[in-house]
Structure formats: C-alpha cells, structure tokens
Structure 1
Amino acid sequence: MEPVRSGCFRAFILFLAVCLQATDCVTVILGDPFEVPVNCEPGESGSLQRVRLDGPRQVATYQRGQWTVSPEYRDRMETNLSKIVFIRMQYNDGGIYEVTCSKTGTKYVQLEVVYAEKLLVTEGDNVTLHCYYKTRGKPGLTVRWVKNGKPVCVKNSNYKGCNGTPDRLSIPTDWITSGNLSLTIERVQPEDSGDYFCYIQDQHGEQSGTPEAHRLTVTEKMTHQMINSTAAPENKTQSCSEHTQPWQISTWILLVILLLVALVAFLCLWRSGKINCDFGKLYELVEKSCHPSNSNEAPTIIYLSLKL
C-alpha cells in the first residue's frame, strides 16, 4: 500500500504545482515541430525535465546560453541552441514539462499532442470539420472552435449560431442532444486554410477531453484544375478515319512516285530510239476525229512500235 500512497501523493503535489505555476497549455499536431515557450536567461543555468509519476526525466540542460539535449532525445531535438526545439512531435511526448532556471525559478508547460485530419478543398466548395462529444447530462457546455490559436466559433445553450463569425460557419442546431459539434464552412476561401481545434468547456470553463484537430488547405480553382489535368491527361480515342488517313496519304505518294518513274522510263526509251511513235499520224487522227469529212473513209491507224 505504501507505493500506492506515495504515487498518489506525488500526483497530488504535481497537480498543485501545475495549477499554481503553469504558464502555458499547448496543443501540438502529431509530427509537427515544437518550440518550448519557456526559456532561461543567458546568464543562468537550468534544466528541462519531463514530470512523471515515477520521477522526473532529464530532457536537456542549460549552460552558457545554450541547451544541450540528453542522449534519449538527440534524434528528435535540435542540439546546442538557445531555445528548446522538438524536430517532430511523437504522440507519447504529451505531458507536463518543468523548466527550472537558477535565477527566474521553475515554470511548467502542459503539452498535448493530437492527431489532425488533413483536408484539401477547392475554393468555393463546402467542407465539414468533424467533432463529436457526449453532451447528454452535462449542462452548461460550450463548444469552442479555434483556428491558429484564435476562436472562430463559440457556441453554448445561449447562442443560436457561431458567435462573432460570418454566416459561412455553422454548427448543427441540435448539437446538445446529438453530440455532433462538427463545424461546416460554406464557400471556403484561401484565408480559411489553417489548423482547427474543437474544444469542449464545462460549466466552470475548464477544457474537457482531448480536442479534435483538423488541418485545412484551400486551393484556388485554376490551380486545382491544372493539377488535375496534368495528373490525369485526357485519353483520346482515334476514329476510323484518323487511323486510315496516314495510309491514304502514303498510297497517294506511292502512286505519284510510280507515275514519275514510268514517265522517266518512257522518255529515256523514246530518246534512245527504242520507242518509235509517229506523232504526225497522231495529229492527223485527232484532226479528223474533230472535223470528219467523209463518214465512209477508213480510220487512220497509228503505229506504235517498241524496239527490243
């Protein structure tokens, strides 16, 4: 029983310390970098520890204006810097961190790591950021949608719509009975891009549960269409005429070449004397056919001989 009592006592002391001295409660999206918002002065010495029920765990030490990271965190934190920076947050990094400085004292940071749904929407479309919570039997609840640290929609039983926001943003009117706290954005604009968090506050104004997170990216219509056309080019199907047109052109070219070859061969044979053609008789035949004088006259025969 003694270890249990000791663990409960440490948890109670830790709770009191955080309530009395915590300066920041930060929510970070899984995989994002994170800079601890508390730091020591240049002339101080200090340490960063992660507070756990089984005892503190050393994360980094501060000497001569620089932080030196412990071996366990070197693969995920930038070393030898004047600030404490996580390169990428892991889900298990959530918890309470204690920054102790030799002159300014001790401060606490409560860190929460959440998974964010990533959404890509075209400008002018509608989008719904989902958020659900058990609301039955819990009076005085308030829904808070925060974008990049600033509230964009605050709603409780006294508000019929999103307080202080454009008409493009809305939450279901039956959210108290249905537990559906999803935020709908109509006709999204590029300035709507950002990180959205859905918080639930109880009647005392305290946050309840883990917030829902969404990372919204809005693309312009023209850019979106260009990406689609580049990624998926149109698959054109040629018609029968398009398929046969090249063959038709080739056939005509072949016929012209054959006629030219035949003409050249004929001229060569005629000039060499191998072809004997009586052009006078040919002219006389044409004249008689155009101006016949006697229908009983026998036709003139043109002799064409080939000397082989």
Structure 2
Amino acid sequence: MMALRLLSTLILLSTSGSVCGLMILEVLGNDVKFPFSASCGAEKTQRLFLHVRGSPPRLVASRTGAQVSPGPLYTDRLNHSDSLLLLKLVRMNDAGLYELTCNDRVETLMELQLFFPVETVSAEGQTVDLPCHSVTLGGSVESVKWEKSSGQVVLEVDGLSGSWTPGEEFQGSRLSVSRDWKETGDLSLRMEVKEEHGGLFFCSVTEGRVKTLKAAVRLTVRPNITDPESSETSEQPQESHCAEVYWRSCFIAAVVLGVTAALSAALGCFLKRRSSRASPPASSQESNTNGIPLNPRGAEEGLSSSG
C-alpha cells in the first residue's frame, strides 16, 4: 500500500505542474529548513512526512493555522516560524524523500541529501583539484554540475557534447574538468583559487532527470605568504638588526680588553714600587772583603784623616 502511495507521489511529481520538487543539501549535524506551503490556507492542515524504505511514511510535523505539532519521534528536534520548519542536528537517517501535504494533497516533494565534506586547504593563486568521482559508462549521464552551497553554479558539463560552461559569477575564472571524464569517471574540478572561492562545493550528476550528490568539498583559502616583496621587507630589518648586534658586541669586547690591559699594567707598576720600597739601601759602613769602604766618599775621608 505504501509502495503504491510513493509511486503515485512520484507520478504526480512528474506529471503535475502544481507540484514542485526541491533538493536540499546539508552537512551532517547542521540544522535543515523545510518551507511551509504559502498557498495552503490557514484553516487547512499541512503535514510533513519522511518516506522510510520498508516502513510507512513517518510524520515529522503537522500545522494548522499557527499551531505546529511535532511527530512522535521529533518532539525535541523541531523549531518553527511562520514560513519554515527547522529540523535540528540532522543525522544520516534523516536523509530521504520528504512530502509536504495540504489537507492530504501533495504540495511539495523535497529530497534531503546529507554529506560529510572533504576538507581542502589551498593558498590564493594556486591551482587545486576538488575531488569527485562517479560511474559514467553507458552514456546515461545527462549533466554534471559543480555548485556552491549558496546556490551559485560554478561549472556545468553537458553529458552529450562533453562541453562545459562556467556559472555567471565564475566567468573569467580558470575552471576545468578532465576531457576524458566519461571514460575515467573522474569529475574533479580544477580551479585557480581566489580569496572569494572559499566555502562548500557540491558535485552532482543528473541521470534520467534524477539529480544525485556525488561529492562535497569544503575549500579553505589561506593568504599567499610566498610574496617576494613581503619576504624581502620582512628580512631586511632582521639583517640590519643582526649587523647592529655584531658591531655592538665587538665594541664591548674591545672596551673590556682595553680596561683589562690597563688594570694589568697599573697593577704591575704598583707591585714593582712596593717591592723596591721594601728593600733597604746599602749602609755606608759596609765594606768589601778587603776592608775598603764601599762608599767612595767615605773612602776619601778615611784617606785624608789618616794622613
């Protein structure tokens, strides 16, 4: 019974212009916003269901007028405003097909796809590859699309011709995918990084009018620190500082050596004078071994007195 309901819902989606389909891409652990129907009157009841494989649709919430009631498994996970229903801290089992009804009439179908993004860091001006791979054999791929989480189209590849077209805001940017992507299944995006490119990128493939998320990459752009001008200006003060320290050290060493030499010379003179004062002068009464006075003047006086 539930399988028939889901099948009828998909048929209604493909044949009725009054039913719209949305794809919601979100990071695991974030909050997801589901829009209420603006065309459903306040007196009518809106219900949001999640189609679970092998089980009946799970009631997420119902709304009548301004009153919103959560489903049995969502009592502590919902917030709401006049136009939005907020599902908090989504987990992998929250992914799937959501159906919004107005008095049991299908208003909107929403496909929630959750992902854990690959983290990539690149400097501004460098070329980076954002990885994405998918089975592309058999010619069933209608298009490949790279886009940002804000909805900006980065690059779209035509599955028939293989040609690619950059998005409006990426005109003039260096973007490409492998020319043999059909044979290899490599849908990675090569791009020259600019400062404004940082953020979440999604890679999706459309087959049989069904769009499927294949990869999600979070690109972090860091400033380019290899600028020669900035490195020269930063190194120049360091060189002059080193030279200043060198010559200052030499000057201090010379002063220390000079003071040390002066102190050594002064100490030598002081010790020499002290030793000379400590030795007594020779006595005038001293004589040599022959009895002759050592003092010549004394010798003359002795001679004259003896005569």
**TM bracket (short chain):** 0.5 to 0.7
Distance in structure 1 (CA, Å) of the matches to 2:222 and 2:36? 36
**CA distance in 2 between partners of 1:158 and 1:56 (Å):** 41
1:166: which partner in 2?
Answer: 172
- Counterpart in 2 of 1:62? 63
Percent identity at matched positions?
25
1:50 Cα offset (Å): 1.9
Aligned to 1:149: 151
Q: Does the 8 Å CA contact 1:60/1:67 hold for their aligned counterparts?
A: yes
Instruction: Give the corresponding residue for 1:33.
Output: 31
**In structure 2, do the counterparts of structure 1 residues 220 and 78 end up closer, same or farther at CA, with 3 Å as the change threshold?**
farther
How far has the Cα of 1:162 moved from its partner?
A: 4.2
Is 2:45 aligned against 1:50?
no
CA distance in 2, matches of 1:135, 1:29: 25
Cα pair 1:162 1:171 within 8 Å, conserved = no
User: Which deviates more from structure 2 when the two are superposed, residues 101-110 or residues 165-174?
Assistant: 101-110
Report the equivalent of 2:120. 119
51-60 or 33-42, which deviates more: 33-42
Q: Distance in 1 between matches of 2:141 and 2:70?
A: 44
Please state how far the C-alpha of 1:7 moved relative to its aligned partner.
Answer: 5.2
Kindly state the Cα deviation for residue 64 of structure 1 after the two structures are TM-superposed. 4.3
Number of equivalent positions: 235
Q: Counterparts of 2:80 and 2:135 in 1: how far apart (Å)?
A: 46
Q: Which has the higher strand share?
A: 2
Equivalent residue, structure 1, for 2:196: 191
- Match of 2:183, SS state, is helix
Q: Is the 8 A contact 1:195 1:215 kept in 2?
A: yes
Q: TM-score, normalised by structure 2?
A: 0.61
Q: How much has 1:196 moved relative to structure 2?
A: 1.4
**Equivalent residue, structure 1, for 2:222:** 219
Query: Which piece of structure 1 moves more, 125-134 or 6-15?
Result: 6-15
SS for the counterpart of 1:79 is strand
Asked if residue 182 in structure 1 is aligned to residue 181 in structure 2, the reply is: no
Displacement after TM superposition at 1:184 (Å)? 0.7
How much does 1:181 deviate? Answer: 0.9
Do the aligned residues in 2 keep the contact of 1:68 with 1:80 (CA within 8 Å)?
no
Shift of 1:103: 10
Read off the aligned partner of 1:174 and give its amino acid letter: D
Aligned to 1:9: 4
Distance in 2 of aligned mates of 1:120 and 1:180:
20
Partners of 1:46 and 1:154 lie apart in 2 by: 36
SS in structure 1 at match of 2:73 = helix
Structure with the greater alpha carbon radius of gyration: 2
Q: 1:37 to 1:144 in 2, by over 3 A?
A: same
The AA in structure 2 aligned to 1:213 is A
Q: CA deviation at 1:42?
A: 7.9
In 2, Cα distance between equivalents of 1:7 and 1:150:
37
Q: CA deviation at 1:85?
A: 0.6
* 4+ residue runs over 6 A deviation: none
Q: 1:68·1:81 contact (CA, 8 Å) conserved in 2?
A: no
Taking structure 1 as the reference length, the TM-score comes to 0.61
- Once the two structures are superposed, the pairs formed by residues 237-256 of structure 1 within 5 Å of their partners are none
Which residue matches 1:270? none
CA-atom RMSD in angstroms: 4.2
For 2:195, the aligned partner's letter is: P
How far apart are residue 169 of structure 1 and its match? 0.8
Matched residue type, 1:48: L
What is the distance in 2 between the residues matched to 1:16 and 1:185? 40
1:130–1:105 CA distance, 2 compared to 1 (3 A): closer
